[in-house]
Amino acid sequence: MNDDQFLVPSSPEAELITHALDALRESTGITGQLLHPAPHADAEVTLQVAGQSLLYACEVKRKIDRFLALDSLKARFSANQTPALLICESLSHEMAARCRELGVQFIDTAGNAYLTNTQGVLIHVAGRKAKKESLGLAGEMTITPASLRMIFAFLADPSMLNATYRDISVSVQISTGAIGKIFETLEARGFISTAPGGNRIISSPAHLLSEWTSGYLGRLRPKLKKFRFTAPDPSALYPGWNPTPHSSAWGGEVAADILTKHLKPATFTIYMDMEAKKAELTALIKQFRLQADPHGPIEVLQPFWNMEYFNQPDPTVVPRHLVYADLLGTQDPRNLDLAKQISSDIIKHVHNAAR
């Protein structure tokens, strides 16, 4: 174990950070110390590198296996005032190379690392394999697609934390048999806890939002049924098209503009229950003369939740945390400040619900 003094309670995240710091010291001789959790990070660490003491705000991710997850992290890290550090289980050579390409600093439990400062690269280690004993952490508490559906429900309506298993199952279309294990995982990861009165609450809305966003973009969204289109005049869709309550709603840039009035949409994201309301998609295609185009600015996705649930004050938009994830998924710099504003609203919503 690392001999440094750790100042935070034992948790799965703290254990993973400890493993990564141990591995970093073994591979490079660099020592580190885990500090108190930061307001908008999983923790803070200091690393002693080339005679310097470097402070980092950390984001802990057990499994990073998609480039899109790294792109999402890069977008969030860009808004940090304190340098950000990804800490994760062993990264593949390809993922480590992508981190370097994006400028995402990281250390992992195999001893791989990429650390920089304004003068250039300080440390770059890649290709090391994880020791077998460190691999057990990931499999036990993985955030699965079903877990992401439940997190979606809890961020949209925190009262769902204390709903019946049947209500949770119907609202986000997962089996009741999976729910108990997902609750155990979320509690073990420190995302939710039990209040003195016995109700479950979200312990760290910012961290849960971060987990939801990277998981949605990396694992859930790619599997959704979707179509892309272009049109003679894509901008005619907004405000020309009106969603049908409980059947369709705006996501992405259009939803962000509806919520904030601060964005001129260049892409048009629609969540539509195409399985239950096939005629709605047909009418949309006909009205705006849509043509299939894999790179078109118009995207229609099958929702992964029951649209009878999680009604918003404006029923034409999806829940804010889905809008937030869509914005980060565009990787468009003009959307980052707006995403940050929306994330603040999401966290306030969760805090207000807990009162």
Every domain range in the chain assigned CATH 1.10.10.10: 140-219
The per-residue pLDDT for 37 is 59
Sequence-distant (≥ 6) Cβ neighbours of residue 107 within 8 angstroms: 20, 21, 23, 24, 85, 86, 87, 113, 115
Give the CATH class of 140-219: mainly alpha
Q: Rounded distance, CA 62 to CA 13, Å?
A: 9
Alpha-helix runs per DSSP H in the chain: 12-28, 67-77, 93-102, 136-140, 145-156, 165-172, 176-188, 205-215, 237-240, 252-260, 278-288, 320-330, 336-354
The per-residue pLDDT for 8 is 39
The per-residue pLDDT for 137 is 45
Q: Is 331 helix (H, G, I), strand (E, B) or coil?
A: coil
Q: Rounded distance, CA 249 to CA 272, Å?
A: 7
Token output for 29:
């001789």
The per-residue pLDDT for 139 is 47
Q: What is the pTM of this model?
A: 0.70
Q: What is the pLDDT along the chain (355 residues), one digit of tens a residue?
A: 343 333 334 467 778 888 899 899 888 888 888 876 566 677 889 898 877 888 999 998 888 888 888 888 888 787 777 899 999 999 988 899 899 999 999 999 999 999 988 777 678 888 888 765 444 444 456 789 999 999 999 999 999 999 999 999 999 999 999 999 999 999 888 889 988 888 999 998 988 998 899 889 888 998 999 999 999 999 999 999 999 999 999 999 999 999 999 999 999 999 999 988 889 999 999 999 999 999 999 999 999 999 999 988 999 999 999 999 999 988 888 898 899 899 999 999 998 887 7
Residue 114 host element (H or E)? strand 113-117
Residue 19, by phi and psi: left (phi above 0), alpha (psi -120 to 50) or beta? alpha
Closest CA to 322 of 228, 212, 206: 212
Angle between helices 320-330 and 336-354 (to 10 degrees): 160
Token output for 152:
């979606």
Q: Rounded distance, CA 285 to CA 160, Å?
A: 36
Tell whether the torsion through CA atoms of 120, 126, 128 and 130 is positive or negative: positive
Q: Rounded distance, CA 318 to CA 14, Å?
A: 34
